[in-house]
Amino acid sequence: MATVILANRKYAVLTGELAAVGAEPGPRASNMIDIGNPDMNFVKLAETMGVEAARAVTLSRLESC
């Protein structure tokens, strides 16, 4: 069994909703919906739990995992 994590690091739905109502979030609000700061390393997180993990940034790398 494999688990694939797609980590886009943004609450894109919230960004879209803000744009839909004409809101322009400032730096503080933008930071609140940015879930990439700090950047989570899911491979290391898995390894600390004894789970084999790999990072794939291309489809060919995903195929080889």
Position 41 in a domain: yes
Position 6 in a domain: no
Position 43 in a domain: yes
pLDDT score for 18: 92
User: Domain residues for 29?
Assistant: 12-64
How far is 52 from 58, CA to CA, in rounded Å? 19
pLDDT above 80 (res 63): yes
Q: Per residue in 23-57, pLDDT tens?
A: 999 999 888 888 888 888 999 999 999 999 999 98
Which of 6-10, 13-17, 22-26, 41-45 has the weakest average pLDDT? 6-10
- The answer to whether the beta carbons of residues 22 and 16 sit under 8 Å apart is no
Position 47 in a domain: yes
Position 1 in a domain: no
- The total number of structural domains in the chain stands at 1
Position 18 in a domain: yes
Position 38 in a domain: yes
Position 35 in a domain: yes
Average pLDDT of the residues in 9-26: 90
Q: Which residue has the tokens 């494999």?
A: 2
Handedness of CA 10, 11, 12, 17 (dihedral sign): negative
